[in-house]
Structure 1
Amino acid sequence: MSVLSSPLQIPLKEPLLSFCKATADTLRLDILRVLSQESFGVLELCHIFETPQSGMSHHLKILANAGLVTARREGNSIFYRRALIGADDPLSAVMESLFETVDQLPMSTDVLGRTQEVHSERSARSQEFFARNVDRLKQNQDLIADYSHYSGCLSDLLSNENLDSEASVLEVGPGACYLLDNLAEQFTQVVAIDNSRAMLEKARSTLSRKHAGRVEFIHTNIEALSRPARLFDLIVLNMVLHHIPSPAGFFSQAARLLNPEGLLLIADLCPHDQDWAREICGDLWLGFEPTDLDHWASEAGFSKGQNAFLGLKNGFQVQVRLFHLTTTHSPLLNKERTYD
Structure 2
Amino acid sequence: MSNIEQMRTADLVAALKAAAEPTRLRILLLLAGGELNVKDLTLILGQSQPRISRHLKLLCEAGLIERFRDGSWVYFHISDRQAGGRLALRLVADVDPSEASVRRDRERAEALKRERESVAQSFFEEHAADWDRIRTLHIAEKDVEAAMRRALGDRSFEFFVDLGTGTGRTLELFADRFERGLGLDVNQTMLTFARANLKSKGCTKAQVRHGDIYSLSLADGQADAVVMHQVLHFLSDPALAIREAARVLAPGGRLLIVDFAPHGLEFLRTREAHERLGFPHDQVAGWLQDAGLALRAVEDLAPKAGSRDDMLTVTIWLAERPATQMPITKISLPKEEAREGAR
Compute the TM-score of the two structures, normalised by the length of structure 1: 0.78
Matched, 1:199 2:194: no
In the alignment, the residues of structure 1 paired with residue 92 and residue 322 of structure 2 have an alpha-carbon distance, to the nearest angstrom, of: 22
Using the TM superposition, give the Cα deviation of residue 128 of structure 1 relative to its aligned residue in structure 2, in angstroms: 0.8
The amino acid of 1:117's aligned partner reads A
Matched, 1:25 2:21: yes
In the alignment, the residues of structure 1 paired with residue 211 and residue 142 of structure 2 have an alpha-carbon distance, to the nearest angstrom, of: 27
Q: 1:81 to 1:273 in 2, by over 3 A?
A: farther
Does the 8 Å CA contact 1:140/1:281 hold for their aligned counterparts? Answer: no
Using the TM superposition, give the Cα deviation of residue 18 of structure 1 relative to its aligned residue in structure 2, in angstroms: 6.3
Using the TM superposition, give the Cα deviation of residue 320 of structure 1 relative to its aligned residue in structure 2, in angstroms: 0.8
The amino acid of 1:196's aligned partner reads N
- Specify every segment of 5 or more residues in structure 2 that has no aligned partner in the other structure, as ranges: 324-343
Using the TM superposition, give the Cα deviation of residue 196 of structure 1 relative to its aligned residue in structure 2, in angstroms: 1.6
Does the 8 Å CA contact 2:60/2:66 hold for their aligned counterparts? Answer: yes
In the alignment, the residues of structure 1 paired with residue 95 and residue 224 of structure 2 have an alpha-carbon distance, to the nearest angstrom, of: 33
Partner of 1:42: 38
1:309-328 mapped onto 2 (5 Å cutoff): 309-313=300-304, 314=309, 316-326=312-322
The amino acid of 1:82's aligned partner reads I
In the alignment, the residues of structure 2 paired with residue 259 and residue 173 of structure 1 have an alpha-carbon distance, to the nearest angstrom, of: 20
The amino acid of 1:130's aligned partner reads F
Using the TM superposition, give the Cα deviation of residue 238 of structure 1 relative to its aligned residue in structure 2, in angstroms: 0.7
The amino acid of 2:254's aligned partner reads L
In the alignment, the residues of structure 2 paired with residue 234 and residue 262 of structure 1 have an alpha-carbon distance, to the nearest angstrom, of: 5
In the alignment, the residues of structure 1 paired with residue 281 and residue 92 of structure 2 have an alpha-carbon distance, to the nearest angstrom, of: 23
In the alignment, the residues of structure 1 paired with residue 249 and residue 74 of structure 2 have an alpha-carbon distance, to the nearest angstrom, of: 33
Q: Deviations over 1:315-340 (max 9, x none)?
A: 6322211122249xxxxxxxxxxxxx
In the alignment, the residues of structure 1 paired with residue 290 and residue 96 of structure 2 have an alpha-carbon distance, to the nearest angstrom, of: 19
The amino acid of 1:316's aligned partner reads L
Does the 8 Å CA contact 1:69/1:80 hold for their aligned counterparts? Answer: yes
In the alignment, the residues of structure 1 paired with residue 278 and residue 120 of structure 2 have an alpha-carbon distance, to the nearest angstrom, of: 16
Partner of 1:121: 115
Does the 8 Å CA contact 2:220/2:248 hold for their aligned counterparts? Answer: no
In the alignment, the residues of structure 2 paired with residue 64 and residue 210 of structure 1 have an alpha-carbon distance, to the nearest angstrom, of: 52
SS in 2 for 1:127: helix
Q: 1:212 to 1:2 in 2, by over 3 A?
A: closer
Q: 1:136 to 1:242 in 2, by over 3 A?
A: same
Partner of 1:285: 276
1:41-80 mapped onto 2 (5 Å cutoff): 41-80=37-76
Q: Deviations over 1:6-29 (max 9, x none)?
A: xx9xxx98x888656533424323
Q: Deviations over 1:159-197 (max 9, x none)?
A: 15x234xx1011012234442211122212001111122
1:1-340 mapped onto 2 (5 Å cutoff): 1=1, 19=15, 22-36=18-32, 38-82=34-78, 95=84, 98-99=87-88, 101-102=90-91, 104-106=93-95, 108-109=97-98, 110=103, 111-159=105-153, 162-164=155-157, 167-228=158-219, 231-313=222-304, 314=309, 316-326=312-322
Q: 1:65 to 1:212 in 2, by over 3 A?
A: closer
Which of 210-219 and 238-247 deviates more?
210-219
SS in 1 for 2:262: coil
In the alignment, the residues of structure 2 paired with residue 21 and residue 157 of structure 1 have an alpha-carbon distance, to the nearest angstrom, of: 48
- Specify every segment of 5 or more residues in structure 1 that has no aligned partner in the other structure, as ranges: 86-91, 328-340
SS in 1 for 2:200: coil
The amino acid of 1:153's aligned partner reads A
Higher relative contact order (CA 8 A, sep 6+): 1
Q: 1:150 to 1:311 in 2, by over 3 A?
A: same
Q: 1:146 to 1:280 in 2, by over 3 A?
A: farther
Does the 8 Å CA contact 1:264/1:324 hold for their aligned counterparts? Answer: yes
In the alignment, the residues of structure 2 paired with residue 102 and residue 20 of structure 1 have an alpha-carbon distance, to the nearest angstrom, of: 9
In the alignment, the residues of structure 2 paired with residue 264 and residue 199 of structure 1 have an alpha-carbon distance, to the nearest angstrom, of: 23
Q: 1:229 to 1:196 in 2, by over 3 A?
A: same
Q: 1:97 to 1:213 in 2, by over 3 A?
A: closer
SS in 2 for 1:192: strand
Does the 8 Å CA contact 2:268/2:274 hold for their aligned counterparts? Answer: yes
SS in 2 for 1:211: coil
Which of 307-316 and 126-135 deviates more?
307-316
Using the TM superposition, give the Cα deviation of residue 232 of structure 1 relative to its aligned residue in structure 2, in angstroms: 1.5
The amino acid of 1:98's aligned partner reads L
Using the TM superposition, give the Cα deviation of residue 119 of structure 1 relative to its aligned residue in structure 2, in angstroms: 2.3
SS in 2 for 1:184: coil
In the alignment, the residues of structure 2 paired with residue 83 and residue 227 of structure 1 have an alpha-carbon distance, to the nearest angstrom, of: 27
Q: 1:73 to 1:64 in 2, by over 3 A?
A: same
Q: Deviations over 1:56-111 (max 9, x none)?
A: 222112223445444444445332233686xxxxxx65x35524533633462514
